Structure 1
Amino acid sequence: MITFLGAILLLVAGYFIYGKIVDRIFGVDDRIPTPAYKNQDGLDYVPMSWWKGSLIQLLNIAGLGPIFGAISGALYGPVAFFWIVIGCIFAGAVHDYFSGMMSLRHNGEQFPALVGRYLGQNVKKFINFISIILMILVAAAFTAGPAQLISSLTPLSFISSLVVVFIYFLVAAVLPVNKIIGKIYPVFGAILIFMAVSIAVALMFSGKQIPNLTLANLHPGDLPVWPLLMVTISCGAISGFHSTQSPIVARTLKKESEGRKVFFGAMIGEGIIAMVWAAAGMTFFGGTGGLQEAIAAGGPAGAVNEISQSLLGSLGGVLAILGVIILPITTGDTALRSSRMMLSDMLSSVMNMDGKWKVSIVTLSVAVPTFYLSTIDYTFLWRYVGWTNQLVATVMLWTGAIYLLKNRKFHWICALPALFMTAVVSTYIFYAPEGFQLSYRISMIIGSILTTIILGWYVLRIISFKQKDKNDYAKQAA
């Protein structure tokens, strides 16, 4: 119990203390007109209040991620608490803040455009492809589950339910951001917060003992904490998916000083939600062994449903159904919207047509493969989403580091978590079942070598910038 409450307080303190430090280093300036006003188009660039933006951002980045991921990560035991707090404050919130604020500062640019601006066009092409594939996979995954539940609760078949969900997706993806997303998503965001608070309060008064921190690995399957935990719990700690969502809200903010509340704050909120569900997972079933049995019987959704109904009764059942239907749908439609925006940017130089026709054609081009993937068993593809997601997060952090380096600011706030995540993704892909399946020791060695190479590249960039400063100073002196 002490660890759980202490972790919540640390996350809140991280927002007020470290969030202000990051904000000061970035250097917000409310005198700079935001894209919401400069590019106002009635579709994506629409000024909205910061509190709406914050709830929309929370819903966009969260969905079921900090619930299902935290439940699965709880199999490792209370060490998951440690990762959520450290990862959320020093990596995830920094990642989300810079993905949003850099978009805000650069005219509402999408994540791949920011990567191209600071890491080069070759990296941009790679990330464009990876990001759109990630968006399609996320949208497909977050469509099939709700459609299955809708078909089980109504006379509709699975395909009919899928069609209903996709009709909503298409409408939400092409309508102005303030018409559907701006009106109902703040309500759904509030429901997500209410759900987490209700579970937390009920858990603390349930008589069950929430375990305190231990760094021991309690996974029943004896899977290593490093680097698997850092991929299992992504939403709630750090997730590359967020960098694709931040530009949606960045195009609606009225001034730069709202960025910390929206981007850093929403990530801290997601970390608290993940903390609640990780605690519930490892507490409710009497330990990690019981949790593993519950997940094996009904998956993370089954575990969430059992926890909700047992702790909150009929209210919990309603919240669980709302969560499993509404939350993934709202994540899926913004994933589709993000992929539409990215593809539009990619094709802007070759598509000279009316704006509405362009939006419709581009939306359909990403919706069709998403619909197809939702109808088949594509588990073999979904296994790669976790690693791809964290790879995107790593690239975004390096983009933020180079941005700060170029602007002669304290770049290590992005570079250190970027280096950490480089080690995570470099080691994971060689060890994981969906990767090269090498031995743990060999994977650790390869991961260390690759991380050292990336560190060397970054040190050379630092030296290059310092040399440029010396040359500029010498020219001015002459």
Structure 2
Amino acid sequence: MFTFIFSIILLIIGYFTYGKYVEKVFGVKETRKTPAFAYKDNVDYLPMGKKRNSLIQLLNIAGVGPIFGPIMGALYGPAAFIWIVFGCIFAGAVHDYLTGMISIRNRGAHLPELAGKFLGKVMKHVVNAFAILLLLLVGTVFVSAPADLLSSITPDWVSFSLIISAIFIYYILATLLPIDKIIGRLYPLFGALLLISAAGVGLALIFTGAPIPELSFSNMHPDSAPIFPLLFLTISCGALSGFHATQTPIISRTTQNEKQGRSIFYGMMIAEGIIAMIWAAAAMSLFNGYNGLNDVLAAGGPGAVVREVSTVMLGAVGGTLAVLGVIILPITSGDTAFRSARMIIADYIRFPQKKLLSRLWIALPLFVISFGLTRIDFTLLWRYFSWANQSTAVIALFVGAMYLFIARKNYWIALIPGTFMLMATTTYIINAPIGLGLSMSVSYIASAFITICTVLIFFAAARHQRANMIELDDQLDSVA
């Protein structure tokens, strides 16, 4: 129990200390006009208050990641707590903050545009395709995952197909309508339910004296699986997630003032880390250790753990509300996944989105493809999700590092976690059966070599970018 409570305290302290430092490094300008005002179109660009933006951001980035990922990561024991705390403070929250704030400084641009500007034009095309594929996959899975949970608490006459159809209808509306019409109005209510359900489970763990294990470095390898790199890909949204880089620009276009960025971007990642801590602790404490948790996961997956934890800790009524809070997570990330995909494609082909018909032309093919994916077994494709997700996070962190390097600021706050995760994702794809399938020792050596080469290339490119910026400034001065 001590490890659990201390970890939550560390997350809160991290927001007020390291979060403040990251904000200082970036250098906010309260008088600078944000895209919400500069490019206001009353569809994607429009100003909304800090509280509303914060709750929307939390629901955008959450999905089932901060619940399902930590439940799976709980198989590693309290080592999962270490990654959630330090990953969230020094990697995930930094990733989300820099992505959101750099987007604000660049017309509310999405990750492909930012990658093209700071990492080169080739990366723009690569990241664009990568992001669209990731968002389509996320959007599709976030149809089936909440539908499965909903079917467990609805009457028998409500068919699975009917639930799927209802979710798709909601996604279409949320993707096409102005952000303040559905997302801006419903998310604050959904956010309250999410926070209440997570707080209910967390308080129940504390006051019932649940046997949450303390930090120990024994028995942390489920089925002899190595902690590095698997733990760092298993727990993504609760610590670091590239999916967030596709979501933060949605709110960068509605943020009123740069000073609000730490609360909206850094703070909501910390909140997600606390949610992840609660569900990881619950999974560790209620199933008699590794073997019991593994049996439940084998029988019904993370969803079965959610239902069992909610009912045991909060009773029938409270448990149902908690499950509803969990259901909201994927739904409120699925809709913004499709919305992000629409916005990224529109930016890529420079297609204005003020008219409804213009939005429909882009969104309709996305939904047709997604609906087709729900009809086939794409388990193999989903196995690549964790790798693709964390690889996207690496790209976003390197974008942040490049931005800070050019600005002559402390780029290490982004480069260090970016380098670490580059090593993790490279090791995984070289070793995994869905990758090259090489031995772990060979994977470590190969990934170390690739990581070192990538960092050296980064520094060469960063110096070149900085030199170009200085040359441009000199030319402007001479013209003036």
Are residues 1:275 and 2:305 paired?
no
Return the alpha-carbon distance in structure 2 between the equivalents of residues 324 and 107 of structure 1.
33
Residue in structure 2 matched with residue 177 of structure 1 by the alignment: 179
Residue in structure 1 matched with residue 359 of structure 2 by the alignment: 359
User: Does the 8 A contact of 2:43 with 2:354 survive in 1?
Assistant: no
Q: Matched residue of 2:224: which SS?
A: coil
Letter matched to residue 254 of structure 1: Q
Cα offset, 1:142, TM superposition: 0.8
Return the alpha-carbon distance in structure 2 between the equivalents of residues 251 and 473 of structure 1.
28
Letter matched to residue 170 of structure 1: I
Which structure 2 residues correspond to residues 333-412 of structure 1 after superposition, within 5 A?
A: 333-348=335-350, 355-412=355-412
User: Structure 1, residues 224-270: CA drift from partner, whole Å, max 9, x if none?
Assistant: 10000000000110000001000111111110000000000000000
Return the alpha-carbon distance in structure 2 between the equivalents of residues 236 and 151 of structure 1.
26
Residue in structure 2 matched with residue 209 of structure 1 by the alignment: 211
Cα offset, 1:206, TM superposition: 2.1
Return the alpha-carbon distance in structure 2 between the equivalents of residues 467 and 118 of structure 1.
13
Residue in structure 1 matched with residue 140 of structure 2 by the alignment: 140
**Which of 184, 187, 197 matches 2:199?**
197
Return the alpha-carbon distance in structure 1 between the equivalents of residues 192 and 439 of structure 2.
45
Letter matched to residue 218 of structure 1: M
Return the alpha-carbon distance in structure 1 between the equivalents of residues 67 and 46 of structure 2.
31
Letter matched to residue 144 of structure 2: A
Structure 2 unmatched ranges of 5 or more: none
The 10-residue stretch of structure 1 (132-141 or 182-191) with the greater mean CA deviation from structure 2: 182-191
Letter matched to residue 146 of structure 1: P
Cα offset, 1:209, TM superposition: 2.0
Which structure 2 residues correspond to residues 224-373 of structure 1 after superposition, within 5 A?
A: 224-348=226-350, 355-373=355-373
Large movers: runs of 4+ above 3 Å: 148-152, 351-354, 461-476
User: Does the 8 A contact of 1:423 with 1:448 survive in 2?
Assistant: yes
Cα offset, 1:465, TM superposition: 6.3
Letter matched to residue 359 of structure 1: R
Report the CA distance shift for 1:354/1:231 in structure 2 as closer, same or farther (over 3 A).
Answer: closer
User: Structure 1, residues 258-313: CA drift from partner, whole Å, max 9, x if none?
Assistant: 00000000000001111111111111112122111111111100011101100110
Return the alpha-carbon distance in structure 1 between the equivalents of residues 141 and 466 of structure 2.
46
Return the alpha-carbon distance in structure 1 between the equivalents of residues 149 and 234 of structure 2.
24
Return the alpha-carbon distance in structure 1 between the equivalents of residues 56 and 62 of structure 2.
10
Cα offset, 1:472, TM superposition: 10
User: Structure 1, residues 375-419: CA drift from partner, whole Å, max 9, x if none?
Assistant: 222111111111000000000000000001111111111111111
Please, what TM-score do these two structures have when normalized by structure 2? 0.94
User: Does the 8 A contact of 2:306 with 2:323 survive in 1?
Assistant: no
User: Does the 8 A contact of 1:217 with 1:225 survive in 2?
Assistant: no
Residue in structure 2 matched with residue 220 of structure 1 by the alignment: 222
Report the CA distance shift for 1:93/1:375 in structure 2 as closer, same or farther (over 3 A).
Answer: same
Return the alpha-carbon distance in structure 2 between the equivalents of residues 339 and 470 of structure 1.
35
Cα offset, 1:151, TM superposition: 4.7
Cα offset, 1:43, TM superposition: 0.5
Cα offset, 1:147, TM superposition: 2.6
Cα offset, 1:474, TM superposition: 11
Return the alpha-carbon distance in structure 1 between the equivalents of residues 40 and 473 of structure 2.
40
Report the CA distance shift for 1:472/1:245 in structure 2 as closer, same or farther (over 3 A).
Answer: closer
Cα offset, 1:90, TM superposition: 0.5
Report the CA distance shift for 1:179/1:406 in structure 2 as closer, same or farther (over 3 A).
Answer: same
Return the alpha-carbon distance in structure 2 between the equivalents of residues 370 and 251 of structure 1.
26
Return the alpha-carbon distance in structure 1 between the equivalents of residues 219 and 285 of structure 2.
16
Residue in structure 2 matched with residue 72 of structure 1 by the alignment: 72
Cα offset, 1:323, TM superposition: 3.3
Q: Matched residue of 2:409: which SS?
A: coil
Residue in structure 2 matched with residue 120 of structure 1 by the alignment: 120
Return the alpha-carbon distance in structure 1 between the equivalents of residues 415 and 103 of structure 2.
19
Report the CA distance shift for 1:340/1:217 in structure 2 as closer, same or farther (over 3 A).
Answer: farther
Letter matched to residue 361 of structure 2: I
Q: Matched residue of 1:179: which SS?
A: coil
Return the alpha-carbon distance in structure 1 between the equivalents of residues 215 and 353 of structure 2.
58
Return the alpha-carbon distance in structure 2 between the equivalents of residues 116 and 227 of structure 1.
28
Residue in structure 1 matched with residue 190 of structure 2 by the alignment: 188
Residue in structure 2 matched with residue 27 of structure 1 by the alignment: 27
Q: Matched residue of 1:227: which SS?
A: helix
Cα offset, 1:352, TM superposition: 7.8
Return the alpha-carbon distance in structure 1 between the equivalents of residues 473 and 378 of structure 2.
57
Letter matched to residue 212 of structure 2: I
The 10-residue stretch of structure 1 (405-414 or 390-399) with the greater mean CA deviation from structure 2: 405-414
Q: Quick one: percent identity of the two aligned structures?
A: 47
Return the alpha-carbon distance in structure 1 between the equivalents of residues 354 and 97 of structure 2.
34
Structure 1 unmatched ranges of 5 or more: none
Return the alpha-carbon distance in structure 2 between the equivalents of residues 473 and 353 of structure 1.
34
Return the alpha-carbon distance in structure 1 between the equivalents of residues 140 and 473 of structure 2.
54
Residue in structure 1 matched with residue 40 of structure 2 by the alignment: 40
Residue in structure 2 matched with residue 449 of structure 1 by the alignment: 449
User: Does the 8 A contact of 1:218 with 1:288 survive in 2?
Assistant: no
Return the alpha-carbon distance in structure 1 between the equivalents of residues 249 and 403 of structure 2.
17
User: Does the 8 A contact of 1:36 with 1:251 survive in 2?
Assistant: yes
Return the alpha-carbon distance in structure 2 between the equivalents of residues 473 and 31 of structure 1.
23
User: Does the 8 A contact of 2:387 with 2:428 survive in 1?
Assistant: yes
Q: Matched residue of 1:326: which SS?
A: helix
User: Structure 1, residues 177-222: CA drift from partner, whole Å, max 9, x if none?
Assistant: 0111111101111211111111111111223321111234523312
Cα offset, 1:40, TM superposition: 0.8
Return the alpha-carbon distance in structure 1 between the equivalents of residues 353 and 208 of structure 2.
60
The 10-residue stretch of structure 1 (459-468 or 331-340) with the greater mean CA deviation from structure 2: 459-468
The 10-residue stretch of structure 1 (183-192 or 20-29) with the greater mean CA deviation from structure 2: 183-192
Return the alpha-carbon distance in structure 2 between the equivalents of residues 148 and 469 of structure 1.
52
The 10-residue stretch of structure 1 (254-263 or 289-298) with the greater mean CA deviation from structure 2: 289-298
Report the CA distance shift for 1:474/1:389 in structure 2 as closer, same or farther (over 3 A).
Answer: closer
Return the alpha-carbon distance in structure 2 between the equivalents of residues 108 and 469 of structure 1.
21
User: Structure 1, residues 39-75: CA drift from partner, whole Å, max 9, x if none?
Assistant: 1111011110001111110011112210000000010
Return the alpha-carbon distance in structure 2 between the equivalents of residues 209 and 417 of structure 1.
32
Are residues 1:109 and 2:112 paired?
no
Please, what TM-score do these two structures have when normalized by structure 1? 0.95
Letter matched to residue 20 of structure 2: K
User: Does the 8 A contact of 1:397 with 1:418 survive in 2?
Assistant: yes
Report the CA distance shift for 1:219/1:290 in structure 2 as closer, same or farther (over 3 A).
Answer: farther
